[in-house]
Amino acid sequence: MCITKQIHFTSAMNLAFLLFFLIFPLVSGHGKILMPPGRGTLWRFGHPTPVNWDDDGNFCGGYSTLWLLNDGKCGVCGDAYNGPRDHEVGGKYYSGVIGATYQQGQTIDILLQITANHRGFFQFSLCPNADNKTEVTQECLDSHILDIEGHGKKYNISSPDQTLEVELKLTLPEDVKCDHCVLQWHWRTSNFWGMCDNDTGALGCGPQEVYRNCADISIKPKTYVGEPFDNSLNDAMLNYVKQPWFEAIQALRKQNYRAPAAEHKYPVTYLYGYPVGLNWQFRSISP
């Protein structure tokens, strides 16, 4: 009798949570990988790829879709598991364009843009078995979880800022080379209270929102001799195409801007008379 009541109570609670999240959408954190550019972000760097204004919203369909409908399953590039895989092979934002080229064992620069910080941690995985016919699997990606310089396999977000840019350095495997690899950025947020493994409750335990991006890259052998690679963060920012509505809103909200343009790390442009640039718009933090 008690077991039956417990099952009915749990089912009712799950239904209540599902209805709540469907009727009252969560204010979600957002983020994307800029360097190397994710599949939905390539257009911002001058590539002739489909425009995706919502390229910072690859969050597995949202909390309710991820956990209440799909039992925690998510597409490898952040699409809802039960929905269109727009960022995977065959999807409308997949082009096969190689966003950056590196060498075996190289330490590479990574730039991430967080437009609503929900804490948690980042992880980066690599699959060398990519092609234009079938999408890579999570199992392949998990076979190469990359080291983050100074942080091990995970980068924990410590900044309290709501909008920020994060610069990290990843170490590529010494034994992996490919004409087409997939680099996956995985962000497990820490925005909800849940039950921990030790049966206590805490913020960040239990099911959380998840974001993912895929970037298509190439890794040349150490013996490669050819054109030098042009993958620096500054060069990438020179060609960065702004998102007008977001830039305008951020500019209007900034009332305490005082730094002269000469102090900006990245190029500064003007929108509606306001100076805008990533290092002004997003507070830079060190790894």
SS3 content of the chain, % helix, strand, coil (to 5): 20, 30, 50
CA 47, CA 36: separation in Å to the nearest integer?
13
Long-range contact pairs involving 192-198 (C-beta distance under 8 Å, separation at least 24): 192/63
- HSE, CB side, 13 Å, CA atoms: give it for residue 231: 23
Backbone angles phi, psi at 21, to 5 degrees: -70, -30
Superfamily of chain region 26-256: chitin-binding protein cbp21 (2.70.50.50)
Pairing mode, strands 100-103 and 121-127: unpaired
* Cβ-contact 86, 93 below 8 angstroms: yes
Q: Which residues lie across from 167 on neighbouring strands?
A: 111
Model pTM score:
0.75
What token pair was written down for 203? 């913020």
Token pair of 250 as six digits: 């951020």
Residue 282: Cβ within 10 Å count: 19
Residue 286: DSSP 8-state = -
> Domain extents for the chain?
26-256
* pLDDT for res 232: 60
What radius of gyration, in Å, describes the C-alpha atoms of the chain?
20
Helices (H), ranges, 124-223: 138-142
pLDDT tens string for the chain (287 positions)?
444 433 343 444 444 444 444 433 444 448 999 999 999 999 888 888 999 999 999 999 999 999 999 999 999 999 999 999 999 999 999 999 999 999 999 999 999 999 999 999 999 999 998 889 999 999 999 999 999 999 999 999 999 998 888 999 999 999 999 999 999 999 999 988 899 999 999 989 999 999 999 999 999 998 888 776 766 655 544 445 344 434 544 454 443 333 333 333 333 333 333 333 333 233 333 33
26 Cα distance to chain centroid: 18
Helices (runs of H) and strands (runs of E) counted in the chain: 6, 14
Alpha helices per DSSP H over the chain: 2-23, 63, 138-142, 233-238, 244-253, 278-281
Terminal-residue alpha carbon distance, the chain: 54
pLDDT at site 29? 46
In degrees and rounded to multiples of 5, residue 174 shows phi and psi of: -70, -25
**Which distant-in-sequence residues (6+ apart) come within 8 Å of 232 by Cβ?**
109
